[in-house]
């Protein structure tokens, strides 16, 4: 059946609520350079706060008759930016005068209450360490790439979660970012005076951002680089195209480079199966154009997609062609690159996790387990004419030491089985079929080659189906049985129930499970 053709269509981003959602607290960034901060206590916890405050440039007045060794060492080393002033006495009301903040490590609630009352009489915001009831503000977890500073707060209810979030963000922020942010600060006035508002300035800052996340260090002498970037921003109106792999579904499978491409795009041409969560990572102002192609369904012609990429790039746009999986594995990325090259349009590729790799990870199966398979093949399940591909070396696919993964083969499952058996592959060969890999509606079936057509029919054709053939998948069935009572010839719903499953004789599980 020939698919119905459709034209690329712009998809409006879902409108966000006009009102800001409820905030547990208001995040603020408070400059402290050269300002007085009162700190009561000589404990190790107080020392950590003192170091943090001084790193922001504060004059930290420490009131403590005795200091723990960690605090003594801190005062001896000094601060990288601010300074410490140690008073070997308890605080008094007059010590709050002129202070921007007041922090205490109190030994009792009575001591905390007295400190808070004194601070509030002078109108100074106060924090009592590890005692939220006496705090006007909290210290959050910090990612420091100054002048880029990221603060994370859970409002004191889940500090371990805050630390976990900080670690996740740290992986996204290369150490070299600090040098580029400092360079950007030095170049700011020059860009305002030499570049027009709008496209020129945006091109300049996008290029700086690309360099900041490239992993390379910012140059110590920036004059030559600055002039080159300024000239490029003034004169360059050429667009570009980035082919980006969105992975099989789960947005967490995106690479950092893919996220950066999405966040710098002017226009995104995306496939039907790209998850909304992936698109939510894109730049808010980017136009979103649906150009999906689905077997047997309403689809855009590849020629129309190519024409649109060329037209938009010629208008000076950064076009992201967002494809499921990897653009260069059954994604027709080669055809698109050829057309762009013929038009003289610069294009780059950001690879994505291909469905076969995601399936192996989800099943806990090595596609090249050395006891079972010494090679792996990715094979398309149909030709341009909608039939089995005759250019495939079918006899080679019967090698028992080879794992074969068929893409886009759901409608041809019966014919794939017949051809492999006819070429000599045992009908008892283990196979798996997975629909909607890594998505909320992921479903799995495991059985033998002889039963493949029935298994794929049980999965249904609503989502993309991947078929794996080979001895490595025998372990998948055994592991599943050990974990959840899952056996061959059963469909397994990973996240949630399958509608109508009981009527179809399909086993369902209401929770995530590994096989």
Catalytic residue among 250, 266, 271, 326: 271
Q: Which of 94, 129, 95, 124 is nearest to 111 (CA)?
A: 129
Q: Which of 413, 404, 512 is nearest to 459 (CA)?
A: 413
SS3 content of the chain, % helix, strand, coil (to 5): 40, 20, 45
Respond yes or no: is residue 293 known to be catalytic: yes
Across 67-105, b (16+ Cβ under 10 Å) vs e yields bbeebeebbeeebeebebebbeeebeeebbeebbbbbbb
Across 333-366, b (16+ Cβ under 10 Å) vs e yields beebbebbeeeebebebbbbbbbbbbbbebbebb
Q: Dig out the tokens for 69 from the structure.
A: 């060794």
Helix (H/G/I), strand (E/B), else coil: 384: coil
Q: Are the CB atoms for 66 and 86 separated by under 8 Å?
A: no
Q: Report the Cα 493 to chain-centroid distance in Å.
A: 25
State which H helix or E strand residue 130 sits in.
none
Q: Which of 403, 406, 480 is nearest to 443 (CA)?
A: 480
Catalytic residue among 49, 293, 323, 443: 293
Helix (H/G/I), strand (E/B), else coil: 138: coil
The rounded distance, in Å, linking the Cα atoms of 480 and 492 is: 10
Task: List active site positions.
Answer: 271, 293
């Amino acid at each position: 059946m020939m698919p119905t053709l459709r034209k690329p269509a712009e998809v409006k981003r879902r409108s966000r609520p006009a009102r800001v959602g409820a905030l547990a607290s208001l995040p603020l960034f408070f400059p402290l350079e050269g300002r007085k901060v009162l700190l009561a206590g000589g404990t190790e916890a107080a020392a950590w706060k003192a170091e943090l405050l001084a790193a922001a440039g504060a004059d930290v007045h420490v009131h403590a008759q005795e200091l723990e060794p960690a605090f003594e060492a801190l005062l001896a080393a000094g601060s990288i930016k601010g300074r410490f002033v140690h008073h070997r006495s308890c605080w008094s009301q007059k010590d709050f005068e002129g202070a921007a903040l007041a922090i205490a490590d109190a030994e009792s609630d009575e001591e905390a209450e007295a400190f808070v009352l004194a601070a509030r009489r002078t109108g100074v915001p106060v924090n009592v360490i590890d005692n939220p009831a006496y705090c006007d503000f909290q210290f959050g977890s910090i990612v420091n790439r100054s002048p880029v500073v990221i603060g994370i707060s859970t409002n004191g209810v889940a500090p371990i979660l805050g630390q976990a979030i900080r670690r996740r963000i740290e992986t996204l922020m290369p150490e070299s970012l600090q040098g580029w942010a400092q360079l950007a600060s030095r170049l700011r006035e020059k860009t305002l005076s030499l570049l027009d508002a709008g496209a020129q300035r945006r091109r300049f800052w996008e290029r700086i951002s690309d360099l900041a996340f490239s992993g390379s260090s910012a140059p110590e002498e920036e004059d030559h680089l600055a002039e080159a970037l300024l000239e490029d921003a003034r004169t360059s109106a050429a667009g570009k195209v980035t082919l980006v792999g969105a992975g099989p579904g789960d947005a967490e499978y995106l690479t950092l480079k893919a996220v950066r491409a999405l966040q710098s795009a002017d226009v995104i041409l995306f496939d039907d199966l790209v998850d909304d969560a992936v698109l939510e990572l894109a730049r808010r102002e980017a136009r979103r154009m649906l150009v999906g192609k689905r077997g047997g369904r309403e689809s855009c012609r590849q020629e129309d997609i190519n024409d649109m990429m060329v037209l938009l790039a010629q208008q000076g746009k950064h076009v992201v062609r967002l494809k499921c999986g990897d653009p260069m594995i059954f994604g027709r990325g080669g055809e698109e690159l050829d057309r762009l090259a013929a038009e003289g349009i610069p294009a780059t590729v950001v690879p994505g996790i291909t469905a076969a790799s995601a399936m192996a990870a989800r099943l806990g199966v090595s596609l090249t387990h050395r006891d079972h398979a010494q090679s792996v093949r990715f094979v398309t399940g149909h030709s341009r004419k909608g039939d089995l591909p005759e250019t495939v070396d079918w006899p080679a696919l019967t090698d028992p030491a080879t794992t074969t993964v068929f893409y886009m083969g759901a409608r041809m499952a019966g014919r794939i089985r017949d051809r492999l058996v006819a070429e000599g592959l045992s009908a008892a060969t283990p196979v798996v079929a997975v629909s909607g890999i890594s998505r909320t509606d992921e479903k799995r079936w495991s059985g033998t080659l002889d039963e493949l057509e029935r298994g794929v029919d049980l999965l249904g054709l609503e989502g993309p189906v991947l078929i794996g053939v080979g001895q490595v998948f025998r372990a998948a069935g055994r592991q599943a049985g050990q974990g959840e009572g899952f056996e061959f010839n059963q469909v397994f719903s990973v996240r949630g129930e399958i509608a109508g499953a009981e009527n179809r004789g399909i086993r369902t599980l209401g929770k995530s499970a590994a096989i």
